[in-house]
Amino acid sequence: NAGVTQTPKFQVLKTGQSMTLQCAQDMNHEYMSWYRQDPGMGLRLIHYSVGAGITDQGEVPNGYNVSRSTTEDFPLRLLSAAPSQTSVYFCASSRSGAGVGNEQFFGPGTRLTVL
Amino acid sequence: QKEVEQDPGPLSVPEGAIVSLNCTYSNSAFQYFMWYRQYSRKGPELLMYTYSSGNKEDGRFTAQVDKSSKYISLFIRDSQPSDSATYLCAMGKDSSASKIIFGSGTRLSIRP
């Protein structure tokens, strides 16, 4: 099993450009999530999904869109990149949630710089 | 005020020392607590979780929760250079929650 994979590993964008961060998991997990990690801020939840076709907002959803058409994939779209979106982005998945007994497995991260 | 506060460090200790990492929280609705370890340029991985006040031990690691003080700790005994990483606490409001809140992480370095 590859676990949780993310592409690309690194990306540089100009302000106003759009892009999609890819996330895939091969563990048949129902729950998937996107976090951003900034210095001094820890991990903050952007969006999450509890199953194919179901998504919801986390703490910091503005400027990001998600969709979940299959169990395996959960792409994160930046609509119009801003320097404030410079961050490291992590995708995670778990069996059925973020609670006890549902260990979240994290991908290796995507380092995004917006100029 | 953040819901979860964690000293960012860095914390540097000699090999073999006992390490104490701590988080405080403000929301009494938090019911379960986790510790994640994150090596440099990697994703976090779950180390331990607890669902009540008291201690939970796993090898060299002990997690402690004091709900009355809204304070949680992770102790590492006989620390090793391989324990050098960032440690993040996380907590949730119920066992089936879809969201958990992370602390900002403490960077730990174990000197050989």
pLDDT digits (tens, 9 = 90+) for A62-97: 999 999 999 999 999 999 999 999 999 999 999 988
pLDDT over 90 (residue A101): no
Which of B 35-94 lie inside 8 A of A, CB atoms? 41-46, 49, 51, 88, 90, 92, 94
Residues of A with CB under 8 A from a CB of B: 4, 31, 35, 40-45, 48, 50, 56, 58-59, 90, 92, 97-101, 103-109
pLDDT class for B96, splitting at 50, 70, 90? low
CB neighbours of A71 closer than 8 A, spacing ≥ 6? Answer: A28, A29, A30, A51, A52
CB-CB neighbours of B35 under 10 Å: 22
Confidence (pLDDT) at A102: 80
Is B6 within 8 Å of A103 when comparing Cβ atoms? Answer: no
CB neighbours of B5 closer than 8 A, spacing ≥ 6? Answer: B23, B24, B25, B103, B104
Question: Is residue A13 a contact partner of residue A81, using CB atoms and an 8 Å limit?
Answer: yes
Is A41 within 8 Å of B104 when comparing Cβ atoms? Answer: yes
What are the DSSP E strand ranges found in chain B?
4-6, 11-14, 19-25, 32-38, 45-50, 54-58, 61-66, 71-76, 85-92, 101-102, 106-111
Q: Which residues of B touch A45 (CB under 8 A)?
A: 99-100
Lowest mean pLDDT among A47-51, B35-39, B47-51: B47-51
Smallest Cα–Cα separation from B87: which of B76, B98, B71, B100? Answer: B76
B8 lies within 8 A of chain A by CB: yes
| Angle, CA A84 vertex, CA A78 and CA A88 arms, to 5° | 70
pLDDT over 70 (residue B61): yes
Smallest Cα–Cα separation from A59: which of A74, A79, A38, A80? Answer: A38
Chain-centroid distance of CA A2 in Å reads 17
pLDDT over 90 (residue A41): no
pLDDT class for B94, splitting at 50, 70, 90? confident
pLDDT over 80 (residue B95): no
Is A97 within 8 Å of B8 when comparing Cβ atoms? Answer: no
